Amino acid sequence: MPTPVYKEKGTRKLVIGIIIGLLVGAVIGLGIGYTLLSSEVEELEKRCNILQDKLKMISSKYNALQNNYNSLQKKYTSLRENYTRLLNTFKQLQELSELFEKQTREVFYYKIFTIYNYKTDEYWYVWYKIKAEDYYHYRFDVKTHTPAQLNNRFTEELIVKTVTSWRDKESSVIREIASDLWDISEGDKELFVNLVIQFVHQICYNETTYTKYPVETLVEGSGDCDNVAVLAASILNAKGFDVIVMLVEADGVGHAMLGVNIRQPDDLYKYGRDVAWYYEYNNVKYWLIEATWGEPGGKDWIDPATPDAYMYLGAFVGDKPWKEIKVVNIVEIKG
């Protein structure tokens, strides 16, 4: 039986409609897919750009670090070479230092002094051995060897440091001197002070710009006003005496003297003095001491360890050999 024509046409239309629908759906799907893909591509492009920027920044930092590393590597190599060179130099110096120290143990300085006891009219001879290593202990303390000034805090600190160095194990000779002079004086404080003055008067005057330790002045046998003043103060202080170092202008010239806290001295009156001088500090009378004597062989120089020396101003505690003394600064050394 033949199929009706209208049914065939309907089926064809349906097929065509389905095809068209599929085509339209495909087109729409492709459009949507394209839109989504485009969005993803744009996002990826943004991320890629961000990564490229980060890569550039990281590359820049890496290059900078690489340059720094290369620079540090060069410095390290240079420092390493310098370190090796310095280490070798140090080892050489250490060997020389050890050799020097070993040799100095075999060296000492020998000093002899004459002491005249004006009360008993007796002469004494005192001698001392100072180890070279003890002397070099102070001589190599270059920080202490700075210019001394009348009104300077650092100068005050150095004076206290050098005077009180008698406590050091390297300054045993200062304690020995103090003990010997104390024994000769038989405990007479005024006589002891005058013997200390007589002792330091045997140090040759030699102008020095810096303050020295007592052991240095003793070994070298020379020094100027502050050096002999420090030496005398150290010996006195080693026996517990309360002393002051007086930084003054003596007849207009910068000078260093001493003052000692003892009872009023009177031995000087037996040698033609009519007055004893003192400086009052903190309600205490400190009797003047002139530690400087002069240069042996110089004009009008006289041996301080003789009876005649006591006729000269400056030989006794309480003497004032200057016309005018203007006190600039006081350095206190308690006993």
- Residue 2: pLDDT over 60: no
- Residue 119: pLDDT over 70: yes
| Helix or strand (DSSP H, E) at 247 | strand 243-250
CA-based nearest residue to 319, from 280, 289, 284 = 289
Calculate mean pLDDT across residues 147-166.
Answer: 89
HEC assignment per residue over 192-224: HHHHHHHHHCCCEECCCCECCCHHHHHHHCEEC
Q: What is the pTM of this model?
A: 0.74
Calculate mean pLDDT across residues 118-125.
Answer: 97
Q: How far apart are CA 19 and CA 11, in angstroms?
A: 12
CA-based nearest residue to 119, from 184, 200, 198 = 184
pLDDT single digits (tens) 232-260: 999 999 999 999 999 999 999 999 999 99
Instruction: Provide the H-helix boundaries in the chain.
Output: 5-104, 132-139, 153-163, 172-185, 189-200, 214-220, 225-238
| Residue 214 CA neighbour count, 13 Å, CB half | 32
pLDDT single digits (tens) 58-110: 888 888 888 888 988 888 888 888 888 888 888 877 777 676 667 667 889 99
- Residue 287: pLDDT over 90: yes
State the DSSP string of 106-171. T-EEEEEEEEEETTTTEEEEEEEEEEHHHHHHHHT-TTT--B--TT-HHHHHHHHHHHGGGGSGGG
Q: How far apart are CA 11 and CA 8, in angstroms?
A: 5
Residue 258 contacts residue 271 (beta carbons within 8 Å)? no
Instruction: Tell me the two tokens of residue 104.
Output: 């100095």
Three-state SS for 328? strand
Count other C-beta atoms under 10 Å from residue 13's C-beta.
Answer: 10
Q: How far is CA 286 from CA 139, 214, 317, in A?
A: 31, 22, 10
Determine the pLDDT at residue 6.
47
